[in-house]
Structure 1
Amino acid sequence: MLEAFYATERGSLEDATINGGFDLHPELVWIDLIAPSQEEQQWVIDAYEQNLPTLKSLEDISSSARFYRDDDGILHISTYFLTKNKNYQVDNESDEHDHMLATVQTVAFILNKQRLLTLRGEKLVSFRAFRARARRNDYEVDYKDPVWILLGLFEAKLDELADILEDIHKDLEKYSTEVLNNHHREQVLDLDDMVTRLAQQEDMLGKAQLCLIDLRRILSFLSRPRALGSHIYDGEIREMSEDVRSLVEHTAFLFQKVRFLLDTTSGFINSEQSDTIRRFSILPSLLTAPMLVTSLYGMNTTVLPFAHGDFSFTAVSIIIVASFILPTAYFRWKKWI
């Protein structure tokens, strides 16, 4: 899929209809390629004489080559975007990605003085949010300058990460209530399932932290002198850098909360297992006295009381039951069972 946008007189972005390479006019300021076909990639190459990386090559880029300016002055950036998995399913054998709450996608940005080219493998929420914001242009940003499109997409990425972290925080608060409520934990909660849910939240936090650290490195690169060719973007970059710093700190707090809940849940699981083992170890002790009485009266001896008589069976049965009930009552009084 190939989408293109041009800037209006008031600086907002509007969609351009693309039916072929002949529609890629010079006034287009943003070309967005979403899992493009070879034909669509060739349209861009022919129209703007700009080579494009393949989607496979984006996954193999080393961290040291994720942002640079080439000999022609064109800025190349490859960065991670985190998106929630709407197709998430607990049990699904069809696709391994459906088992994850969120996935990380690599997006390539190619920026020159006239336009911005973006290449990604699938649709992303942050891109859709930015397009809606750029159409309204509430802050009267001049998107005729493609640098503002680049920074706007990074800001939308930051907003998406903030929303994901907020959702994680809400989920952890709910999990805390479930784990720490004794009645709910003992009667309703499946502790093994809780461990799985917490592990999934920790996995998503790790991916969010990866995206934040990656964005912090990019913003640090863009803040260098002559990185973008002007100082008018410095204020926006500094503001986003502060937001990234605060989100990294919040992510560290959420990591601590997840680990606390994991440790607490694991402790309750160990406690339940210990209680089960203790109950099984106490059972032989409770049966020792009845078995002893049964063994003695099974020896066909005349010395024992109630060994003979019309009510001997009843009397011996009462002794056996009493030898079981009395230790059981004592153990309960001691709260051993």
Structure 2
Amino acid sequence: MIRAYHLDGRAEIINAAEPRQALEADSLWLDLINPDLAEEALVEKLFGIPLPTREDLKDIEPSSRLYVEDGGVYMTGSLVWKAESDLPEITDVAFILAGHRLVTIRYAEPRAFALFSAALLRMPGKYRTGAELLARLLETIVDRTAEVLEAGVARIDELSATVFVDRKAAKRRPPRFLEDKLLDIAAHHRLVSKARDSLVSLSRMVAFLRSLPKVREDREAEELCGIVAHDIQSLSEHAAFVSNNITFLLDASLGLINVEQNAIIKIFSIASVVFLPPTLVASIYGMNFHFMPELEWTFGYGFALVAMLLSAVIPFLFFRWKGWL
């Protein structure tokens, strides 16, 4: 689908089955969403430049993501997608400056695009060039990334409060409670990791954008890019801080799991200390040797019971006195 936005605030869907020879003069932004071959061919004909394919967007080399060719400025940025789901993803979006127009190619629906397009329709005539429009779009994307991080921090704080509780509350936890929380920690780490990847990509893109002559000549676009670059830097530092907190939460959870497992092992150790000596006494008097004088005693049975009791109590008290239990 090809959606065109105009300076006067209009938006229209361009049908590739009805090809046109040229765009309207006030067309400022063409947003290609999951374009097919016919739609790509139409846009290439209208702008006279080649469009990157979906496979091209997956390249990770900076020279393949940021370059100038045939009079067009090509940039590829990685954006967080499905941030509210359990499996957030990264989607690559192409940003192309061709003359005074902006072309975007995407195969996902990041929320930042919906927010920006809605705001664009409410404020007709606000943007004059594609560079200025791109700077505002990047600002919206960065703001959306900040919202994703804020939501992630809130969920991490809530998770931390459920992990670090007093001993009485910890005893009322269901079995394998902390093991289940490890999956939540992994999900939060995935979200923050995707956000950091997106910020790194956007930082490179903004730095490249600011180096372009057409952007340096556009004062409004230059100032906006500077603001976006500062915001990206601040968010990157905040994301690193959040990532460190998640690492601490993960280490602490694993430590608490080890403590609980050690407590279980301690119970088995106490049971071994208590029952092993009586078992030894019972094993001795359970032998079938003919010459065992205790078998002839009248009080032999009681003697064996007392011996088993003392052999259990004395080691237990000794270990308690030493502080080993």
TM over 0.5: yes
Deviation at 1:127, TM superposition (A): 0.5
Indicate the residue corresponding to 2:152 in structure 1.
168
Taking a change above 3 Å as real, the CA distance of residues 204 and 17 of structure 1, as seen in their structure-2 partners, is closer
Deviation at 1:81, TM superposition (A): 0.7
Contact 2:59 2:65 in 1 (8 A): no
Indicate the residue corresponding to 1:261 in structure 2.
249
Indicate the residue corresponding to 1:69 in structure 2.
68
Question: What SS is found at the alignment partner of 1:22?
Answer: coil
Match of 1:198 among 168, 171, 185: 185
Deviation at 1:253, TM superposition (A): 0.9
Indicate the residue corresponding to 1:241 in structure 2.
229
Indicate the residue corresponding to 1:96 in structure 2.
none
> Are residue 158 (structure 1) and residue 105 (structure 2) matched?
no
Deviations, residues 157-203 of structure 1 (Å, cap 9, x unaligned): 10111011111111111121112114444423622222232223223
Name whichever of 235-244 and 142-151 sits farther off: 142-151
Deviation at 1:331, TM superposition (A): 5.9
How many residue pairs align between the two structures?
Answer: 316
Cα separation, 1, equivalents of 2:301 and 2:141: 82
Contact 2:78 2:93 in 1 (8 A): yes
> Are residue 273 (structure 1) and residue 265 (structure 2) matched?
no
Question: What SS is found at the alignment partner of 1:109?
Answer: strand
Cα separation, 2, equivalents of 1:261 and 1:285: 36
Which stretches in structure 2 are left out of the alignment for 5+ residues?
Answer: none
TM-score, normalisation: structure 1: 0.82
Sequence identity, in percent?
28
Name whichever of 313-322 and 76-85 sits farther off: 313-322
Q: Which amino acid aligns with 2:231?
A: D
Indicate the residue corresponding to 1:214 in structure 2.
201
Q: Which amino acid aligns with 1:308?
A: T
Deviation at 1:271, TM superposition (A): 2.0
Taking a change above 3 Å as real, the CA distance of residues 246 and 281 of structure 1, as seen in their structure-2 partners, is same
Cα separation, 2, equivalents of 1:18 and 1:225: 30
> Are residue 284 (structure 1) and residue 266 (structure 2) matched?
no
Cα separation, 1, equivalents of 2:257 and 2:112: 40
Indicate the residue corresponding to 1:223 in structure 2.
210
> Are residue 22 (structure 1) and residue 10 (structure 2) matched?
no
Which stretches in structure 1 are left out of the alignment for 5+ residues?
Answer: 89-100
Q: Which amino acid aligns with 2:10?
A: E
Cα separation, 1, equivalents of 2:73 and 2:284: 94
Name whichever of 105-114 and 275-284 sits farther off: 275-284
Cα separation, 2, equivalents of 1:150 and 1:18: 21
Contact 1:301 1:307 in 2 (8 A): no
Taking a change above 3 Å as real, the CA distance of residues 295 and 22 of structure 1, as seen in their structure-2 partners, is closer
Q: Which amino acid aligns with 1:67?
A: L
Deviation at 1:150, TM superposition (A): 0.9
Contact 2:77 2:93 in 1 (8 A): yes
Indicate the residue corresponding to 1:108 in structure 2.
94
Taking a change above 3 Å as real, the CA distance of residues 276 and 221 of structure 1, as seen in their structure-2 partners, is same
Indicate the residue corresponding to 1:149 in structure 2.
133
Deviations, residues 277-329 of structure 1 (Å, cap 9, x unaligned): 333333322112312332344457775499426xx656754654565466557
**Matched ranges for 1:42-121 at <5 A:** 42-72=41-71, 74-84=72-82, 88=86, 101-121=87-107
Indicate the residue corresponding to 1:39 in structure 2.
38
Taking a change above 3 Å as real, the CA distance of residues 147 and 225 of structure 1, as seen in their structure-2 partners, is closer
Cα separation, 1, equivalents of 2:119 and 2:154: 26
